[in-house]
Structure 1
Amino acid sequence: MLIDFLKAFFLIEPERQHQHSKITFQQSALKILIVVTLLVFMFVEINSLLIPAFEGKAFFLTINSGYVAILIGLLVYCRRYTFTVSVLFLIVMMTTGILLITTTTNTNAIKYGLLSLYSLPLIARLFFNFRTTLSISIANIGSFYLVVHMSHSLEQINDDMLPEFTSFYFQLLTFATLNFGLPFAVSRMIYTLESNTTHLESLYRRLNRNNTLYEEIFEHTGTPTMLCNKAGKILKVNGLARQLLSNSESLQNKIENSQVQHWLTPTEERSERYFWHSNTRECSLKTNPNTLIEMHRVSLTNHGHYILHLQDISQIKALKQQLENSQQTNSRLTNFDVLTLLPNVKHFCQQVNNKLAFERAHYSGAMIIIRISQFKLLNKQYGKDNANRLILSFAKILKNKLSDQTFICRLRGVKFACFVPLGQTYLIKRNLSALIQSTLPDQIKMDGNLLNMDYQVGVSYYQTDGNSAEELLDRCEMALEYSSSAERISYYNNQLEDKLVEEHQLGLELSNAIKCNNIVLWLQPQVGRDGYICSFEALARWQKADGSFVSPMAFIYLAEKLGLLPTLAENLLRSLIPILSEWHKEKIYTPVAFNLAGQELMNDVFFAHLMSLSADHPWLGKMLELEITETSSVMTHPIVHKRLKALSQYGFIIAIDDFGTGLASLGQLIDIPAKILKIDRRFISPLPDDQRHLDIVKSTIQLAQSLNMKVIAEGIESKEQADTLIDLGCHIMQGYYFGKPAPMTEWTKDNHAKAKHLRLVR
Structure 2
Amino acid sequence: MISRALKLIKNYLLLNDDNLKTTDANIWRLSVLRSILLIGVILTSAIVVHSSYTAYVQELYYVLYLTIGFTAFLLATLSIGLKHIKIASAFLVLVVLAASMCILFFTTDLISAQYGLLFLFTLPIIVRILYGIKASIATMLFNLVPYYLLVTKTKVSPLFGIDITLPDTHTYLASLLFLFFNFCIPMAVLRVMSSLEKQSEYNQLQSKKLNKIVKGYQEIFNNGGTPSFFCDEQGRILQANKAARSLVKKFRPNSEYIQDLFSLSLPITRGVNQTASIYNHPEQEFEIQPASLMHHKKQLVHCHDLSVNKKNLMEFDAYKKQQYEKHYFNELTGLKNHHFWKQVETSDSILNQHIVLLKLANLREINLQYGYSQGDKLLIKVISQLQNEFSSGARFYQFPGAKFLFTLSTKQLFSNSIEHFLTRKLPKTITVTSNNVDVEHTLKWRVGHYHVSREISADAATECCAIALSQSSELSPYMSFSINTVKSIRENTQQKDKVKALIDNGCLAIYLQPQVSIDETIVGFEALARLKELTTGSILQPHHFLPLIEANGWEVLFTQKILDATLKLLDSWPANLPRVPVAINLSGPELLNDIFYEKLLRRFSESPELCKKLKLELTETSVLASHSETKRRLTSLANVGATIIIDDFGTGHASLSQLIDMSASVIKVDREFVDRVETSERHRKIVKMTLDLAKSLEMQTIAEGVETRAQLSVLKEMGFKHFQGYLFGKPAPIEHWMSEIKAQA
TM interval, shorter chain, is 0.3 to 0.5
TM-score in terms of structure 2 length: 0.46
Question: Rg larger in 1 or in 2?
Answer: 1
Q: TM-score scaled to structure 1, two decimals?
A: 0.45
